[in-house]
């Protein structure tokens, strides 16, 4: 691990009056592995609850992460989008929430967008690209659940995803813990 974690804790939501810290936001479809990735990055089993009921958390949750010899940061967990069983209108409310979050967010340093390595990017991912572009923020694309594919298949999917959006993702796996260093490296570059 290229950084050392002093402490990581839940500090509130978008609606709380939190101190200004550099923000790194995690976005992605429900069940993509967002909670698992954040837990893996901060070396905790269940700071962010991994859920068997996707779409349940609808808040924009803030976690303060204190690092050794580096400034503290906020890791921000956007609610997962695109869960088929959420009531009609949820997509719109997700869009509104995301818009509110991205709008004039001066602390936002980097958007970490997660996609399941086995799935192609859909409208929702392109919507996040669009929100990001408008907020002028940089992107990191992470392809999760890499352990589900062989190495050859992983490379093929990386090329497919790059063809779709022009960006080569970082591979991650909550099982093998691949991806930790690459994601932290990018976070540190944006501090
Ligand atoms: P979230 O809804 O995006 O927060 O996704 P979770 O982190 O809760 O993960 C959803 C499901 O996928 C859980 O059953 C996890 O154990 C599983 N999962 C998450 N990441 C990985 C991974 O890298 N590899 C595998 N095989 N399963 C994963």
Q: How far is the CA of 50 from the centre of ligand 1 (A)?
A: 7
Give residue ranges with CB within 6 A of ligand 1: 28, 30-36, 50-51, 54, 80, 144-145, 147-148, 173-175
Q: Give the pLDDT confidence of 130-153 residue by residue, as tens digits.
A: 888 888 889 999 999 999 999 999
Q: Which residue intervals of 17-113 are DSSP H helices?
A: 34-41, 90-102
Q: Give the pLDDT confidence of 151-179 residue by residue, as tens digits.
A: 999 999 999 999 999 999 999 999 999 99
Q: How far is the CA of 133 from the centre of ligand 1 (A)?
A: 27
Confidence bin at 118 (pLDDT 50/70/90): very high
Q: What is the DSSP letter of 113?
A: E
Q: Give the pLDDT confidence of 12-32 residue by residue, as tens digits.
A: 998 899 999 999 999 999 899
Instruction: Determine if the pTM surpasses 0.75.
Output: yes
Confidence bin at 82 (pLDDT 50/70/90): confident
Q: Which atom of ligand 1 is nearest to the CA of 77?
A: 4
Confidence bin at 51 (pLDDT 50/70/90): low
Q: Which atom of ligand 1 is nearest to the CA of 50?
A: 8
Query: For residue 27, which of 141, 136, 105, 134 has the smallest C-alpha distance?
Result: 141
């Amino acid at each position: 691990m290229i950084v050392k974690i002093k402490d990581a804790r839940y500090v509130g939501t978008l609606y709380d009056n939190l101190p200004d810290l550099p923000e790194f936001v995690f976005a992605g479809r429900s069940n993509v592995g967002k909670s698992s990735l954040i837990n893996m990055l901060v070396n905790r089993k269940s700071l962010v609850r991994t859920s068997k009921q996707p779409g349940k958390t609808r808040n924009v949750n803030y976690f303060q992460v204190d690092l050794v010899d580096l400034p503290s940061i906020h890791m921000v967990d956007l609610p997962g989008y695109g869960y088929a069983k959420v009531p009609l209108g949820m997509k719109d409310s997700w869009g509104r929430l995301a818009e509110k979050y991205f709008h004039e967010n001066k602390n936002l340093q980097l958007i970490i967008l997660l996609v399941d390595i086995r799935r192609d990017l859909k409208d929702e991912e392109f919507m996040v690209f669009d929100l990001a572009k408008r907020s002028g923020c940089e992107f990191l694309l992470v392809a999760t659940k890499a352990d589900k594919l062989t190495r050859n298949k992983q490379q093929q999917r990386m090329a497919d995803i790059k063809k779709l959006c022009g960006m080569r993702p970082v591979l991650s796996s909550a099982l093998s813990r691949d991806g930790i260093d690459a994601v932290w490296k990018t976070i540190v570059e944006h501090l």
